[in-house]
Structures are given as structure tokens and as C-alpha cells.
Structure 1
Amino acid sequence: MITVAVPDQQVADALGDLGDDVRLVLWNPKETDAPDDERDRIDLVCLPHLHGGRHIYGRIGTCPNVKVIQIPSAGYEHVAAIVPDGVVLANARGVHDTRVAEMTLALALASRRRLPQYLDAQRRGVWEQDPWTPPLADSRALVVGYGSIGEAIGARLRACEVHVEGVARSARVAPDGTTVHAVADLATVLPGFDVVVIVTPHDESTDRLVDAGFLAAMPDGALLINVGRGKVVDTDALLAELHAGRLHAALDVTDPEPLPQGHPLWSAPNCLITPHVAGFEVLTNRRYTDLVRRQVVALREGAEAPNAVMVGSAPR
């Protein structure tokens, strides 16, 4: 019998019948210890959003037979060091592609067509025309981190008649036909793009990737969109470009995060900020429940967990 722990009844209802050999139990490690009568039986733990913290993974570590932890985010660097020994951590790669791509498109359109400027004029009750805002159509966009989310972003930008290319660790042609440049070639590639979208995870190789040199290589008037991780961008370097009036920015993630009251990014010119909401998919969505069902099939068949990203080494 496979026992799957889900955080609430809504997720259980969305999953439905997983087979005669599967039991669903309600357990949210954010709130309580594992139920005493289930502690030794749980095989798969499905965590809710905003689930980080040693106490949460410590509670999971008291369950000796847990094989897989399914997190709801694509990023996992925030918990990599605290996954219990021998437990597979699976991320939610693919679940959030659509939502992140939608938000990227919204940020691109809002920034290029200056919607914040018009909203401010509306609040002031002023008819303030700026009819020569640059269109998104016919612009050139570079998606830095061209994986599954990057492909989803590219598809939506192309629907707006944008030319799209990508950046990854090495040069290639993506499955959707997109030209992907090597990250080592960024300095020579960046001057050719009006919109640059950051969708990379944060690790040692991407820390402050968008630094003063990166930003200086972007052409005047270009737009930087960050829907990846805040620490990929050097905030001080970006602030310098914004105050110089040379670049525009639309940020769903920031460094620091949450952005504290009074931080200079709040009032920086030509900067649109949303509070890290691009990729929050509800756990009753079919993209998430389909992933959990695939985890159950893998447990049943003794196969590798879908979306496995690491095996924990933290002590139980």
C-alpha cells in the first residue's frame, strides 16, 4: 500500500481515486507533526507553497519510510541542504510554465506600453497622453534561461510578433526551433535585443549574472524583466541604470526579498514591481495533480521519481 500525504482536503479531492493500492492522508508539515498512526506508513509527502524551514523538513525526517518529497516550486535551492538523508526531492518543473509565461507577457506589455504611467495619471485625474510608447510587436526578446518556462514565454511573445532567442549554458537549437546562445557569449549578444527576460534559477553560476557589465551591454531604452530569482540581478547596478534613465525594468523577484518599505527600488524610475507572484499555481490545478499521479505510478513501479532533482543528505 502506498501512502500519500497531502496538505488539505481540497488537494485530496482534486487528486481523486489513485487506485486500490493508494491511501491519501491529510498532513501539512507546516502546521503539525506527522500523525502518530501514519508516521511509519507515509511514502510520499506533498508540501504546500511557502514550505521552507528546517522544522518542516525535520518533521518529515521523523517519518522513516518517506521516499519522495514533492515540493510545489521549480526552484529548490532554498531547501537543498535540509532534505532528510536518502529522501528524493522532486520539484514542480513544468507545473508553473503557463502562469510564469502569462505574467512575463503582462509585464512586457505593461512596461512597453507604459501602463503604470497611465494608471498614475488616472489616479490623479489627468488626461496625460503619450501616444508614442514603443510596441511589443516587432521587438527582439532574449530569454536568459531557455528551458521549459523559457519555451512557454517564447511562445507567448511570438504570438505578439516578437522575435525570440534564448540563452543557456551552451549554444543549441531548442526543440521549438529557437536559437539558443551560450551564456559565455552574452556580452556580444545583448546589444541586439530590446527586451531581456531572466528566468534562471539562482546558484553560484548565476549569482549577480546581471551585473553592471551585463546591463551596460543592453541598448538604450531596453527592458529587463526578471521572473527568475532576485539574486541573479545586481540591485545596485540596476538602480544606477534606472536612475540614469537608460533602461526600464519589470521585476517579479527582487534582492532583497521581500522588498522592504523604503527600499530605493520602490521609487526607481521606469520600474514596475510585482511581489513574486508569477509562478504560484494552486495545488488543485491539473498540472500539479498530474505530477502527483505520476509520482504514485513511479512508486508503484519502483521507477525513478519524476522531476527528481536530488537525494537528501541531511540527517534524520
Structure 2
Amino acid sequence: MPERPGAVFAMAPENVPYVFPPRLLARLRDHLDLDPALVAHDLTAPRVREALARAEVLVTGWGCPRLDAAALDAAPRLRAVLHAAGSVKGFATAEVWRRGIVVSSAADANALPVAEYTLAMILLTGKDVFARREELRARRGLPHGAIVPGIGNHGRRVGVVGASRVGRRLIELLRPHDLAVALADPYVDAAGARRLGVPLLPLDELLRTSDVVTLHAPETPGTRHLIGARELALMPTGAVLVNTARGALVDQDALVAELRTGRLSAVLDVTDPEPLPAGSPLFDLPGAFVTPHLAGSQGNEVARLGRTVVEEAARLAAGDPLRHAVDPATLDRTA
């Protein structure tokens, strides 16, 4: 049996048992030589520095310290970073790529629960569930069995902004439903849209023609306030904006102003700032349904991220290419 590469956990220590429950941890240790009791949240601690000096692999996750030149100097044998979460932008500096260290991410695994949450919200808003529930609570009863006009998911138009991992998974999940789905993404051409099975529209046209607009673009300088007052005004009366991407994609002041008119509604799992200040009007506006950034992996879903890392560790130990390697050339336009 080949010698296992030395490895160190680098993440928030409290997350390790969720990401790697006992059976997964045992499988991970089949492929990597690591001490599960040593979790590096601070790369300068003496015991951590000693382990880093021997490490070929970092197993990272939420709370990973920044991998700058000083941190990497302490890990001269490092050749791979296996990230048990989505984006690596928060910790992987340019120095990682300059040194030829391969980075793998569990972003594909994390995309699924976000797409599932989004699908659920699209279907629920189609039934006007949130407003009807509030009306039921306020009136302590509503007529049962009567047809409610103006609601329903038959032929409802859904506009997906961004063919990211989440955007693509959502398009797959929407396919069995009787919905009309379209895509806006400047990096997708007509042939790419055909492969996804959806029409490609300019953003303005998608906004004008969608009953639901759901955001799945990355946060970049070019996407900040991608949806502002002008874009919100293009959306038809009664439309819903869903944001499970990044809060900065939406001009929040403009959204609050539009929600106050009652013309639109919004489902927001992300906000700007995050978390919201206690006095934010989004807590009280009847057209806003806000959740605390829970669309991504939660509870038993978190172990799916660990499983991805275990599979990548097996490939690494066997000398095979990593399946989920991050391409630094596309980082400026991915999450």
C-alpha cells in the first residue's frame, strides 16, 4: 500500500465533525495521514507549524486561514488543497497558484442544496404561499376550496440569471415542471444555451418577460448592483426576485423602495450587508421573505462536502487527476 500523503485540517474546528462524521473521517484517513485532533484555525501556532512543515495536503473548509506567502512558506511540501466548501476566493491567494499548488473545491456538491432551495421558493411563490399565509394568520381563516385567481405554476416564466454551478443545477431541477425557463448570461452562447435546453435572452428582455427572476451570478466588480432601480422597474407587476447568490448583486435600497410600492416581492437568502442590521425594513416589508443564508449546505447536507473531499483524497493518493480542480483562470467570473 503506498504511503499516505501527510495532511492537516485548516478550518473552523467546530465544523470538522459535521463535515467529516466518523465514517467519513475514517475513509479520509485511509487516504491521508492526518491527526483529526489537530485543526489549524491559526497557522502560526507552534504545533500547527510543526505539522505544516511535513504536510503535502491541506484539508480546508469554512474558516480556513488565508494562505498567503508567509503561510505557504511554513508548508514547503504542500502540493494540494482539498476544500470542503464552495468558493476558495476567501483564502486562496495568488501565491497558491504561483507555487503550482492544485486546489480542489466541493462547490459542485454545495450547489445542489442551493438549487433545491431555489426550486422550492419558485414553486411556493407561484402559489403565493407567503402572502396567503400572512392573510390567513391575520384574518384567522380564509375560504377553503375557492379558486384563487392570478396564482399557479402552470406555464410560469422563470428567468435564471447566471449559468453558474447553481444556475445549471436549477435548470435541471426545473425541467420536470410545467414552467417556461430562460437564461441570461454573457458567457454563454446560443449553442451553450441549447445544450442546457433553455432560450438565451439579454438581461433586460429576461427581466421584462419573467414572473420569477432568480440570481445565480458570482459577485465581481462587474456584477455589483447588477439589479438596480432600472432593472427592477423592468420586471412586470407581481413578479418575484429570488437571490441565493450574493447580496451585493442587488441594490438593496432600490429593492426596498420597489417593495414598499407592493409591485414586486422578493425571496432573499443573502443580503448586503449580511447579516442585516436590526432596523432593516426588509424584516417587516410584507413583500420580503428573508432567510439567514441557509440555502447552502446545512445539517446533514454538510457531510456531502466531506464526501467530495474524501473522493478527491483517494484520487490524489492514487496519483489520478482531481475531478473538482479549480481553474484560476476563471476565478474572476466564478463564485
TM over 0.5: yes
Structure 2 contact 266–288 (Cα < 8 Å) conserved? yes
- Write the distance in 1 (CA, Å) between the matches of 2:170 and 2:315: 30
Name 2:198's counterpart in structure 1.
Answer: 178
Larger fraction in helix: 2
Name 2:243's counterpart in structure 1.
Answer: 226
**Match status 1:147 vs 2:164:** yes
RMSD of aligned Cα (Å) = 3.2
CA-to-aligned-CA distance 1:112-159 (integer Å, 9 cap, x gap): 323333443565571145933511231011111113321221222233
Structure 1 contact 142–197 (Cα < 8 Å) conserved? yes
- Write the distance in 1 (CA, Å) between the matches of 2:248 and 2:318: 39
User: Under a length normalisation based on structure 1, what TM-score does the superposition of the two structures give?
Assistant: 0.82
2:119 to 93, 98, 105: 105
- Write the distance in 2 (CA, Å) between the matches of 1:283 and 1:238: 31
**Match status 1:266 vs 2:266:** no
Name 1:64's counterpart in structure 2.
Answer: 76
Larger fraction in strand: 1
Unaligned runs of 5+ in 2: 330-335
Aligned length: 307
1:5 to 5, 8, 15: 8
Structure 2 contact 7–33 (Cα < 8 Å) conserved? yes
Q: CA deviation at 1:18?
A: 5.7
- Write the distance in 1 (CA, Å) between the matches of 2:6 and 2:64: 22
1:25 to 32, 35, 47: 35
- Write the distance in 1 (CA, Å) between the matches of 2:162 and 2:280: 28
User: Under a length normalisation based on structure 2, what TM-score does the superposition of the two structures give?
Assistant: 0.78
- Write the distance in 1 (CA, Å) between the matches of 2:68 and 2:117: 30
Name 1:314's counterpart in structure 2.
Answer: none
- Write the distance in 2 (CA, Å) between the matches of 1:205 and 1:143: 18
- Write the distance in 1 (CA, Å) between the matches of 2:172 and 2:88: 26
Name 1:197's counterpart in structure 2.
Answer: 214
**Match status 1:14 vs 2:7:** no
Structure 2 contact 102–325 (Cα < 8 Å) conserved? no
- Write the distance in 2 (CA, Å) between the matches of 1:110 and 1:94: 25
Structure 2 CA distance for partners of 1:261 and 1:253, relative to 1, 3 Å: same
Q: CA deviation at 1:257?
A: 0.5
- Write the distance in 2 (CA, Å) between the matches of 1:305 and 1:60: 24
Q: Find the residue that maps to 1:140 and give its secondary structure.
A: strand
Name 1:162's counterpart in structure 2.
Answer: 179
Structure 2 CA distance for partners of 1:21 and 1:152, relative to 1, 3 Å: closer
